[in-house]
A and B are shown apart, each in its own frame.
Chain A
Amino acid sequence: MAQFKTLTFGLMLLGCSALALAEEGNSRLKLNPKMTQECSACHIAYRPNFLPTSSWKQVMGALDKHFGTDASLPAADHKEVTDWIVAHSQEIGTPPPDNRITRSFWFTRKHGTNHIKADVWSRDSVKSPANCQACHVNAAQGDFNEHNIRIPR
């Protein structure tokens, strides 16, 4: 039994480091320029690993009703961005409610009240949990390292 526990623990560690490696690799992934250009017209281009592929497909399939906004793209651009994000994301984890990155398990765990005071979200300088770069100053470059967080007043 003890051996089994050690083995389980070891496997968990391995799993964590593999996930960490996968995350690390993804932050260095250079985004498709069309995707960067189009997404960042309104918000930073979120990283492909922020949602499972099935969620991305749903998001890209309903751009005319994109969280309350019409974000539709011309057909050729739509295909280029969709194909790229489908190819560069993975079907990992449960699709979050409404396909919202900010309702993903990992997001809520990392941004709970034990990390961030509730009033931070409503500050004019932050306004929305979708506004990554308000605190993750290099978010647009894919850098979400916790040493590069500056929570604005």
Chain B
Amino acid sequence: MFSTFRLSHLLACLALAAPLMASANPILDGYKAETKGTFSAAAGEKIYHTVGPKQLACASCHTDSPKNVGKHAKTNKTIDPMAPSVNAKRFTDAANVEKWFKRNCNDALGRACTTQEKGDFMTYVLSVK
């Protein structure tokens, strides 16, 4: 009786955890492990709209919402949406994510981003449905 209860309990836990596991992002988990803190979508959204020393923000090319198709501010090149909810390829390759954080933090903020900022940013973009 006891063991049956335990099994059903375990199954219930799994059923609850499965969708959470599916939505977790290994790259974000990596940043979380580094900072040992929590990330905030609101802080990420603020970064997304912050205009830096070159008068550029993430939104300058990626538009007001990371769900939209963007346009390179200088070259006019079309940029695929950044939000994984509409573009499943995003946030799947850690090296690529790091490459673009390095470039775009420099361009938009005029400096490198901290791990906390990267985590906040990803949390925001992942939250946009």
Show the binding face of A for B, using Cβ within 8 Å.
40-43, 64, 67-74, 126-128, 130-131, 134
B103-A72 in contact (CB<8A) = yes
Check B75–A74 contact: CB distance below 8 A: no
The answer, among A40, A68, A74, A127, for a CB contact under 8 Å with B76, is A127
Cβ of B103 and Cβ of A70 under 8 Å apart? yes
Q: Which has the most chain B C-beta neighbours within 10 Å: A40, A69, A127?
A: A69
Docked-complex contact A69 and B74, CB < 8 angstroms: yes
- Cβ–Cβ < 8 Å partners of B95 in chain A: 74
Closest to A65 in B: B106
Instruction: Flag if B75 contacts A71 (CB, 8 Å).
Output: no
Are A42 and B102 within 8 A (Cβ)? Answer: no
Contact with A along B72-91 (1 / 0, CB 8 A): 10111100000000000000
Residue of B nearest to A126 (CB): B76
B99 touches A73 (CB 8 A): yes
CA of A113 to CA of B65, assembled, Å: 39
Please give, as numbers and ranges, the residues of chain A lying within 8 Å of B72 by CB-CB distance: 42-43
Shortest Cβ gap from A59 to chain B (Å): 15
A64-B106, A70-B106, A70-B107 known; A131-B75 Cβ under 8 A = yes
Whose C-beta in chain B lies nearest to the C-beta of A40?
Answer: B77
Per-residue A-contact encoding for B91-115, CB less than 8 Å = 1, 0 else? 0000100010011101100000000
* B76 and A131 contacting across the interface, CB-CB below 8 Å: yes
Question: With a CB–CB cut-off of 8 A, which chain A residues contact B106?
Answer: 64, 70
B75 & A42 in contact (Cβ 8 Å cutoff): yes
| Chain B min CB distance to A91 (Å) | 27
**Residues of chain A within 8 A of B77, CB atoms compared:** 40-43
| Cα(A111)–Cα(B103), bound, Å | 32
Chain B residues lying within 8 Å of A64, measured Cβ to Cβ, are 106
Q: Which residues of A contact B102 (CB under 8 A)?
A: 70, 72
Cα A74 to Cα B76 in complex, Å, equals 24
A126 and B77 alpha carbons, distance in the complex (Å):
10
Q: Which residues from B are CB-within-8-Å of A70?
A: 102-104, 106-107
List residues of chain B with CB within 8 A of the CB of A72: 99, 102-103
Q: Least Cβ distance of A81 to chain B in Å?
A: 13
- For B71, the closest partner residue in chain A by CB is A127
